Chain A
Amino acid sequence: MSDCGDSDVLWIPYKERPEWSDVTPVPEDDGPNPVVVIAHSEKFEDVYDYFRAVLQSNEKSERVLHLTKDALELNPANYTVWQYRRDLLKHLNTDLRTELDYVEAVIKNSPKNYQVWHHRRVLVEWLQDPTMELELTGDALLQDPKNYHAWQHRQWAIKTFGLYEKELDFVDNLITDDVRNNSAWNQRYFVVNNNLGWSDLICQQEVCYTLEKINFVKNNESAWNYLRGLLIHDKRGLSGNAVITSFCEELYKNKCRSPFLLAFIIDVCEDAIKKKDTNCFHNADRAVELCQALATRYDKIRSKYWNYLCERYKKYQSEQLSNDNKTNDLIIDE
């Protein structure tokens, strides 16, 4: 990475290198009246003039491999250079393991660059060797635990090569470090979904895990979303899991008014209403009450949303009322 150097004293332009004297640099042809012109440095123009030249002559040699390195240091987002480099690697039969080292260094410098991660993925595919990918992405996530590219690459490696074994532990560590790390919670779902499965036992274990984390930080959207998400796989559904519903009521009783708790109870009410299995805790009245509480006190930024949702439960209330009236009429008729 440092052979073209931070120090300009060491840098010799390609046009002054005797070993490149056989190549005529090709300037960029941006047309007569270009716009959005980037005033590139002399170094940039020099390197890319030579890259254009070798692209034109289709030269595939070691020196061109070095040239692409220089070109990529100047612009790691140039996907054409990355592709040409891949062609070179194949043509020269280069040791791909040194290439893996190189990409790793570029990733460390530009961890949010799409082309770099794509290049890494291609190399791993060629080598069919994922043994370093968990460490690589693990390191990247140490720097930024929410780096989308790192998570994407990690999921791909795990899924493609079946590397689930220690992933739940990895996820658990991240959640312990930061219970609000939404990426880690997403990864947890990924592991359970693809590797452990949603047996009743696993579901309940995950429920316990999540409730513990909610107890720790009650106002954490990630944990509440995960709870709702895993209940998709619980045949009891949102309103049928007594462990959860009593946990929620306990929190509520202890004055917790986290908007996520209140929203969850509303969702439980919705589920109960749909299943025609309402009770004193989960019914349209409670849903209305909670929507209004959220709109007026506990989640005011979303007041319009909660008022909108409230209309749905008010409708259920009036439907319930008219059903009750019908029933009363029937009773009176008898």
Chain B
Amino acid sequence: MNNEGNKDMAHRQHVKYFMRFLNILPSSLSSHDTTRVTIAYFSVAGLDVLGSISAISLDLRSRIIEWLYRLQVHPDKETGDMSLCGFQGSSTINIRLDPDNNQFRCGHLAMTYTGLCILLALGDDLSRINRTALIQGVKALQTDEGNFSATLSGCESDMRFVYCAACISYILNDWSGFDIEKATDYVIKSIGYDYGIAQCPELESHGGTTFCALATLALTDQLDKLSEAQIDGLKRWLVYRQIDGFQGRPNKPVDTCYSFWVGASLKILNALQLTNYGSNRRYVYETQDMVVGGFSKWPDTCTDPMHTYLGLSGLSLIGENGLLEIEPRLNITKRAYDHLKCLHEQWVS
């Protein structure tokens, strides 16, 4: 993979940027303490889309993998209960706990999803994943409405976690923990009067949640449950998000990350080619920091791993030179996705 012909991309700086985040973060980012796995995901996936997964030495690769597997929550030693299984976001509370307090050591759907993505990008064979346990952990989090909570111990439930649950089920090739009919019903109920899709029924349509919903339908093979009017309406709502870059809601400012959320949504509907690639690209590059590396939501704002990764993915979706192709539903490179497909074949045989 080379970057010839892409003078705009501060490729080297972005690689260094992600490598820094994989190493150490300043104390000002303390509020990310419980979501370190997602930062690792943005960094690893970011290096992957840059075609620079090899910047991660074999040593660092095994360090990341070992660190991740330490965050896998296993079935209860005494009862065999699997409802808490999944990945944690960090080791903040990983201490020996009494059975009374065990419920705090639980998986978090977003960490399980991003943890699996990191392993795939690093070429891990997932053999140390307790697939049954993770799926039972997913199952324990679905509500009657079809929605999903993030964790078993005290968290909000919304479309983001429906998406994470769908990704986990897809990756592990096991839908026994995910009631597809109920989830589809929840998605359809969350379509707004403007045909965008919200976090929960009746809330405001939003680019991020529209992605979560559409990707869920795509992964569960339920896109055909959308009516023609709904698909037409969705396409219209999504293409209207383009100002130069993309916004997340009508009459809100554009933000680099929506080049992915809205871009991938349109890709799933086979309509991304109806947008203006040049304007989109120009905006994303305005948010690039050539010195520090990374991308930010707006020009002249601080960069962060999320906007950096999503800026790159968003550019990849429109065929940017020097970037690997992205699988839009799971939000990993096709390279990592192909590795997953190999694993699926191995598991079946």
Interface residues of A (CB under 8 A from B): 26, 28-41, 44, 48, 51-52, 55-56, 58, 74-80, 82-84, 86, 114-115, 117-118, 122, 146, 148, 151-152, 155, 159, 180-183, 186, 189-190, 193-194, 220-222, 225-226, 228-230, 232, 263, 301-305, 308
Q: How far, in Å, is A39 (CB) from chain B's closest CB? A: 5
Whether the Cβ atoms of A83 and B104 lie closer than 8 Å is yes
- Tell me the B30-63 residues at the A interface (CB within 8 Å): 30-37, 39-40, 43, 60, 63
6 CB < 8 A contacts A-B: A35-B23, A35-B67, A36-B21, A40-B30, A78-B34, A115-B155
Whether the Cβ atoms of A152 and B199 lie closer than 8 Å is yes
Whether the Cβ atoms of A302 and B242 lie closer than 8 Å is yes
Also in contact, A152 and B200, with CB within 8 A (given A39-B27, A83-B154)? yes
Also in contact, A301 and B242, with CB within 8 A (given A44-B30, A55-B97, A193-B202)? yes
Tell me, in angstroms, the Cα distance from A31 to B206 when the chains sit together. 39
Tell me, in angstroms, the Cα distance from A122 to B156 when the chains sit together. 10
Whether the Cβ atoms of A56 and B96 lie closer than 8 Å is yes
B321 within 8 A of A: no
How many residues on the B side are at the interface (Cβ–Cβ under 8 A)?
Answer: 70
Whether the Cβ atoms of B36 and A31 lie closer than 8 Å is no
Give chain B residues whose Cβ lies under 8 Å from the Cβ of A32. Answer: 66
Whether the Cβ atoms of A58 and B98 lie closer than 8 Å is yes
The total number of A-B Cβ pairs within 8 Å is 193
Also in contact, A77 and B31, with CB within 8 A (given A31-B67, A220-B251)? yes
**Which residue in A182, A226, A308 is a CB contact (below 8 Å) of B274?**
A308
**Which residue in A76, A230, A308 is a CB contact (below 8 Å) of B31?**
A76
Whether the Cβ atoms of A55 and B104 lie closer than 8 Å is yes
Q: How far, in Å, is B195 (CB) from chain A's closest CB? A: 9
Q: How far, in Å, is B66 (CB) from chain A's closest CB? A: 7
Also in contact, A75 and B33, with CB within 8 A (given A183-B204, A301-B242, A304-B276)? yes
A-contact bits for B122-156, CB 8 A (1 contact / 0 none): 00000000000000000000000000001101111
Give chain B residues whose Cβ lies under 8 Å from the Cβ of A74. Answer: 30
Whether the Cβ atoms of B155 and A79 lie closer than 8 Å is yes
Majority secondary structure, A binding face = helix
Whether the Cβ atoms of B97 and A39 lie closer than 8 Å is no
A-contact bits for B262-296, CB 8 A (1 contact / 0 none): 00000000010111100100000000000000000
A-contact bits for B211-240, CB 8 A (1 contact / 0 none): 000000000000000000000000110011
- Tell me the B66-112 residues at the A interface (CB within 8 Å): 66-67, 70, 90-98, 100-101, 104
Whether the Cβ atoms of B94 and A29 lie closer than 8 Å is yes
Interface residues of B (CB under 8 A from A): 21-27, 29-37, 39-40, 43, 60, 63-64, 66-67, 70, 90-98, 100-101, 104, 150-151, 153-156, 192-194, 199-200, 202-206, 235-236, 239-240, 242-244, 249-252, 271, 273-276, 279
**Which residue in A28, A37, A194, A304 is a CB contact (below 8 Å) of B23?**
A37
Whether the Cβ atoms of B274 and A304 lie closer than 8 Å is yes
**Which residue in A52, A86, A115 is a CB contact (below 8 Å) of B93?**
A52
**Which residue in A29, A38, A115, A122 is a CB contact (below 8 Å) of B29?**
A38
Q: How far, in Å, is A230 (CB) from chain B's closest CB? A: 7
Tell me, in angstroms, the Cα distance from A234 to B91 when the chains sit together. 55
Identity of the chain A residue whose Cβ is nearest the Cβ of B90 in the assembled complex: A30
Identity of the chain B residue whose Cβ is nearest the Cβ of A27 in the assembled complex: B95
Whether the Cβ atoms of B193 and A55 lie closer than 8 Å is no
Tell me, in angstroms, the Cα distance from A41 to B33 when the chains sit together. 12
Tell me, in angstroms, the Cα distance from A51 to B243 when the chains sit together. 47
**Which residue in B25, B34, B203, B273 is a CB contact (below 8 Å) of A77?**
B34
Tell me, in angstroms, the Cα distance from A194 to B202 when the chains sit together. 10
Give chain A residues whose Cβ lies under 8 Å from the Cβ of B249. Answer: 146, 182-183
Q: How far, in Å, is A29 (CB) from chain B's closest CB? A: 6
Give chain A residues whose Cβ lies under 8 Å from the Cβ of B64. Answer: 35
Whether the Cβ atoms of B98 and A155 lie closer than 8 Å is no
Whether the Cβ atoms of A33 and B63 lie closer than 8 Å is yes
Whether the Cβ atoms of B95 and A56 lie closer than 8 Å is yes
Identity of the chain B residue whose Cβ is nearest the Cβ of A38 in the assembled complex: B25
Also in contact, A39 and B250, with CB within 8 A (given A29-B91, A55-B101)? no
